[in-house]
Amino acid sequence: MGNFLHRHRRLTPYLLLAPGVAWLAVFFLVPLAFLGYQSLQSGTFPNYEFTWEFANFTEAISDYREQLFRSFLYAGIATVVSLLLAYPLVYWIAFRAGPWRNLFLLFIVAPFFVTYLIRTLAWLNILADEGPVVGALRGLHLLGPNEGLLYTTLAVVAGITYNFFPFMALPLYVSLEQIDARLLEAAKDLYASPVRAFLKVTLPLSAPGIVAGTLLTFIPAAGDFINAELLGTPKQQMIGNVIQAKFLESLDYPTAASLSFVLMAAILVALLVYARAVGSERLTG
Amino acid sequence: MTLLRRHALTAYALLVVGYLMLPIAVVILFSFNDPVGRFNYVWQGFTLDNWVEWDASLGLRDSVLVSLELGLLATLVATALGTLIALAIVRHEFRGRATANLVVFLPMSTPEIVLGASLLTLFLNLTSVFTLGFGTIFIAHVMFIISFIVVTVKARLIGFDRHLEEAAMDLGANEWTTFRKVTLPLLAPAMLAAALLGFALSLDDFVITYLNAGGEQTFPVYVWGIARVAVPPQVNVVASAIFLVAITLALGNAVWQIRTARRQRQGAR
Amino acid sequence: MTRPLTRRQLLERAALGGAALTLPGFLAACGGGGDGGDAGGDELAAVLRFANWPLYIDIDEETKKRPTLDEFTRRTGVAVDYFEEINDNAEYFAKVQGPLSQGRGIDRDIFVFTDNSRFPGLLIDEGWVQKLDKELIPNISNLIEAQASPPFDPEREYSLPWQSGMTGIAWNEELTGPVTSIEQLFEDAKLKGKVSMLMEQADSVGLVMLANGDDPAEVSDETYDRAIDRVQAAVDSGQVVRFTGNDFAQPLTQGELAACVAWSGDMIQLLADNPKLKWGVPKDGGMIWTDNMFIPTGGSVPTASTYMNYVYEPPVAAKIAAYVNYVPPVQGAKEELLKIDPEIANNTLIIPDDELLAQLHQYDSAALANDEHISKWQTVLGQ
């Protein structure tokens, strides 16, 4: 086995890629191609015709600009907040938790063992107007006597943040975990303050994790629909809700398909800008 | 001062974990609720009945078993495939590298409803090969989990210290042995973290699963279905049970690690 | 072609335990699941594959069996594979439209769609459902008058009602006095920001039309726009805070919402936990909707028709209504219910009296398919 790989070194990357990419090719790219075909159709359900209807795309962008922008805004805020919340926690798990690490990693992921609906109902319970949280906030005069937390932009963004927290925390952990504690010791020995040690040693070494976490949070969050559906009002609807409605209620498959491609393209553009900013080696190594 | 800072970080960590666990606490609490009607929104009284008769909701148990089986299987396969892709992209320069990178990001950016629906169309056009059911859900789950695995494992591979591998090869190991004995063990924690993420994704998925399941039901499909008319406390019981079992396993793992470390230290003396 | 038994089918068979002890039942259980798929032939299939909404049929909580289904199997020898896989008209339709549009079956003999969605009309227009065999359904004469001739299926050739439900206004007594009209819902300042409406167009827009003095059974662009504008105004002013599925239940119970457009069936359950919740038909009228049984392409018409005939026997209808708490479409169900559970029989939310029925209206089913209307409604929802 070892010799075979050695002799066919050029083939190695392709061999490594083959099974995974084959799976994606058949079960993602083929459906995606069909989706592309759908996006250029016109007509009404179920009699669509393929008419190279590029107008679907332009109409999609102009009609749903607001929701597109809002989705990116919410996803962006959620990503930043998630990063700020998660980093100290993950730092603690990687460097201070010792044998309890896996337990705390489990705590991070545990909310997913309880289906989305159930944990959102729990949040609705906790954040209800009659509940303790709102009561406390009103007592501190952070909320007016008639204001609440639910059915607001705050609720939707908080929902997205909470929902995607593991997607930020786990990749962060992955890159923090590998940092050799001795590097930090060396920095200390060289009279660096803890803050400097962090800024000059830990932070740069954890950069791949930050990049991975932000990608794994932002990209799916932009297409999220369920938080806006359960926690928001018509003013908080995201592009995911539009696509969902177009597909299920309006039976307008071409528009749903073209909107999906618009979203994908927008995300890829954002990705390119991001890669430029952080340096593309961070994304590919 | 450093003492304060040290404890401040721990305090913060516990606070965040508290925030994460808050809804779980409510879920566990309400699993002991004794509602008169079919919904579980108002606290009415404490009872252990729900835990004793956890199986009372028809279809709940089957859906949980399917979800767990599916989660484990799909995560296993996706982690293997995803790790291979990550290795290829990070460690090799080859034609098509950028494309491969791009293809990995695409599933994550596709809204679930259209992803699920177009996959369903694929299955429906190939009914001689695919019957809607466990198999098709498995295929779908692996498909959308792979991307997350790749990105997570890549974060470990970028900046991976290759000196250990080089040392191994200098000592005569060939590439395969080095991979097995050096690379893989170092990669294991990252693969575990990625697998955890994948498992969570699989357990929680509703839209893609619902469309491609045929008559099969997973736990989320069951809950979303029944929530229209009822929220039986048994759902809370099952969710709490899964959580508690997982915590117990992790606790056991932690204790085992402490013991092993202690034994090693004693052995070293 | 016989498919091997899946694990699920095996469990269902085991649950039907008693049925297997009769010879026909035993043969049915061993026969595998695949035979019901052939639409041709006058014979009863070995298995009836019934897709329905969750908790929409009677369940014996002790034995975890479904008594009326077991009884059906005992009588006819046909086993029943019951799938609680419909949780939303649109989502279920998305799941089944693929094979149906290709003229293929979906391995089901009966499925259930609500008549205030566009799907019944669509299914019939496209020819994706089969005609009932009325010779096998003499009990169709038990169908209540009000359901005899719905606009989407005037001759009742393709569908039969399963259960009906009502749409009205629910309110929380702790937060407000009785909310008896859409006008009050939209204008009462005390309710501002604590009002929700249903996402289902027919439910919400229908009620507003009634409040405008228009007839929801005859929708014109004018009457539609009038209603939509009124809803949009209420949303813009912040009076109506959101649109819900049945997720109004928890916020209403907890006081997050003070008044909601709500379905009657859910209220019966919510009332049990919280007596402060009330439900009523608005003074200008409420809406009534009906879940209908259809036979999809590839389903076995004789088997499905036989089952439909069975559930139109008043005693069976009564048993189902007693558990489900929705409105049975069968004449004589009330009398039978009085024998089983007088409290339920006298609950007008489950068996509405004529006075109540007169206040309930149906939505124009042709208008349900109007894409422009749907578009405008989606805009109000923010989508």
Q: ipTM of this predicted complex?
A: 0.90
Q: Is A146 on the interface with C (CB under 8 A)?
A: yes
Task: Give mean pLDDT, residues B97-108.
Answer: 90
What is the share, in percent, of chain A residues with pLDDT greater than 70? 96
- Residue A25 is assigned to a structural domain of this protein: no
Query: What DSSP designation does C217 have?
Result: T
Query: Does residue C11 surpass a pLDDT of 60?
Result: no
pLDDT tens-digit series, residues C302-356: 999 999 999 999 999 999 998 888 999 999 998 999 998 888 888 888 888 888 8
Query: Does residue A130 surpass a pLDDT of 50?
Result: yes
pLDDT of residue A277: 86
Q: Is A128 on the interface with B (CB under 8 A)?
A: no
Highest mean pLDDT among B35-39, B95-99, C4-8, C259-263: C259-263
The alpha-carbon radius of gyration of chain A (Å, integer) is 23
Query: Does residue B63 surpass a pLDDT of 90?
Result: yes
Q: Tell me which chain C residue has its CA closest to the CA of residue A44.
A: C371
Task: Give mean pLDDT, residues A101-128.
Answer: 89
Which of A17, A175, A219 has its CB closest to that of B105? A219
What is the share, in percent, of chain A residues with pLDDT greater than 90? 58
Contact across the interface for A109 and B196, Cβ inside 8 Å: yes
pLDDT of residue B37: 78
Task: Give mean pLDDT, residues B71-92.
Answer: 94
Q: Tell me which chain A residue has its CA closest to the CA of residue B41.
A: A125
Query: Does residue C28 surpass a pLDDT of 50?
Result: no
Query: Does residue B261 surpass a pLDDT of 60?
Result: yes
Q: What token pair was written down for B205?
A: 């998925």
pLDDT of residue C9: 47
CA distance B21 to B18: 5
Which residue, chain included where needed, has tokens 């960590």? B13
CB atoms within 10 A of CB B102: 11
Contacts across the B-C interface (CB distance below 8 Å): 92
CA distance C12 to B149: 37
pTM: 0.89
Pairing assessment for the beta strands A47-50 and A41-44 based on DSSP bridges: antiparallel
Query: What DSSP designation does C143 have?
Result: B
Q: Is B230 on the interface with C (CB under 8 A)?
A: yes
Domain ranges across chain B: 59-231
How many CA atoms does the CB half-sphere of C163 hold within 13 Å? 27
Supply φ then ψ for residue C237, to 5 degrees.
-80, -5
Q: Which residues of A touch B12 (CB under 8 A)?
A: 88-89, 92
Task: Give mean pLDDT, residues A44-63.
Answer: 90
pLDDT tens-digit series, residues B199-239: 999 999 999 999 999 889 999 999 988 887 788 888 999 88
Q: Residue B85 — pLDDT band, cuts 50, 70, 90?
A: very high
Query: Does residue B260 surpass a pLDDT of 90?
Result: no
CA distance C368 to C360: 18
Alpha helices per DSSP H over C49-172: 67-76, 89-101, 119-126
- Residue A142 is assigned to a structural domain of this protein: yes
Query: Does residue B176 surpass a pLDDT of 50?
Result: yes
- Residue A138 is assigned to a structural domain of this protein: yes
Which residue, chain included where needed, has tokens 């995560």? B75
Q: Residue B269 — pLDDT band, cuts 50, 70, 90?
A: low
Query: Does residue C2 surpass a pLDDT of 60?
Result: no
pLDDT tens-digit series, residues C272-289: 778 889 999 999 999 999
Tell me the one-letter amino acid at B166.
E
Chain B closest CA to A112's CA: distance in Å? 5
Residue A106 lies in domain: 65-282
Largest CA distance in chain A: 75
CA distance A270 to A254: 24
Query: Does residue C37 surpass a pLDDT of 80?
Result: no
pLDDT of residue A285: 57
> What domains sit in chain C, N to C, each tagged with a CATH number?
7-164+290-350 (3.40.190.10), 165-288+358-380 (3.40.190.10)
Q: What would the DSSP string read from start to end of C344-367? A: HHT-TTTS--HHHHHTEE---HHH
pLDDT of residue C285: 93
Query: Does residue C366 surpass a pLDDT of 80?
Result: yes
**Residue A169 belongs to domain with CATH number:** 1.10.3720.10
Chain C closest CA to A66's CA: distance in Å? 10
Give the 3-state secondary structure of residue B74: helix
Give the 3-state secondary structure of residue C286: strand
Closest C-alpha to C265, from C235, C243, C290, C285: C290
Contacts of B90 (CB under 8 A, 6+ apart): A284, A285, B154, B157, B158, B160
CB atoms within 10 A of CB B135: 15
Least confident of A272-276, B72-76, C227-231: A272-276
CB atoms within 10 A of CB B37: 20
Give the 3-state secondary structure of residue A231: helix
Indicate the burial class of A133 (C-beta count within 10 angstroms; 0-12, 13-18, 19 or more): middle
- CATH ID of B59-231, from 1.10.645.10, 3.20.20.70, 3.40.50.720, 1.10.3720.10: 1.10.3720.10
C-alpha triplet C316, B60, B238: angle, nearest 5°: 140
Pairing assessment for the beta strands C195-198 and C240-244 based on DSSP bridges: parallel
Closest C-alpha to A220, from A267, A153, A275: A267
pLDDT of residue B110: 93
Query: Does residue C5 surpass a pLDDT of 60?
Result: no
Interface of A with B in 163-192 (CB under 8 A): 165-167, 170-171, 173-175, 177-178
Q: Check: CB of residue C91 under 8 Å from CB of residue C57.
A: no
Peptide bond into A46 cis (omega under 30): yes
Task: Give mean pLDDT, residues B107-130.
Answer: 91
pLDDT of residue A28: 96
pLDDT tens-digit series, residues C58-113: 988 788 889 999 999 999 999 999 999 998 999 999 999 999 998 999 999 999 99
What is the count of structural domains for chain A? 1
